Structure 1
Amino acid sequence: MPSAVPLNAIAQPTGIIVDKSLDILTTILDPLIQVMVSISFPIASVIMIGACFFFMFGNNEKAWSMIMNAGLGYVLIQMSPLFLKILRTIGKAI
């Protein structure tokens, strides 16, 4: 005879699915983040050198804009592993 399960039973959260999802997401994103961090310096360098040509052509505003954007992008990409660690910590705390 099968055991009876009450119809109003509420499953208690165990966190197994959340932990496993977080591990899978970390496993997938970690190599992509490492590649982006590795290639960010050469790409930012090429953009900054290209911006120097705008100085030569007299378009100072565009040159400074490109240099600032390349520098900001480089810093944010270099800090992305830190952001992911913070998100992982917040995810585990919740």
Structure 2
Amino acid sequence: MCLGIPGRIIAWVDKASLMAMAEVSGVRRAVNVACVAGEDPIGKWALIHVGFAMALIDEDEAARTLEALRDLGEAQEAVEQMRAADLALEAAP
């Protein structure tokens, strides 16, 4: 099953390569925004899946989706996996 988690696109990392910083439940990571490149994504909510912003969504939809995912327990698991991946990247030489 594929899981898209709502995250807010907060800043450009590298606009030329369409990489932006997203915040997902307090965790920040670079994501590719090529799929939503039709408009400036900064400050907007997107569904994030495996490092890609797949679609822009409004804040109400983001809140409803996060609530539903929390209810299912999947959001916490996905965020923990992202944190573990970030820690592994920080520990890499």
More helix by share: 1
More strand by share: 2
TM norm. shorter chain > 0.5: no
TM-score, normalization: structure 2? 0.28
Computing the radius of gyration from Cα coordinates, the structure with the larger value is 1
TM-score, normalization: structure 1? 0.28
Larger RCO: 1 or 2 (CA < 8 Å, sep 6+): 1
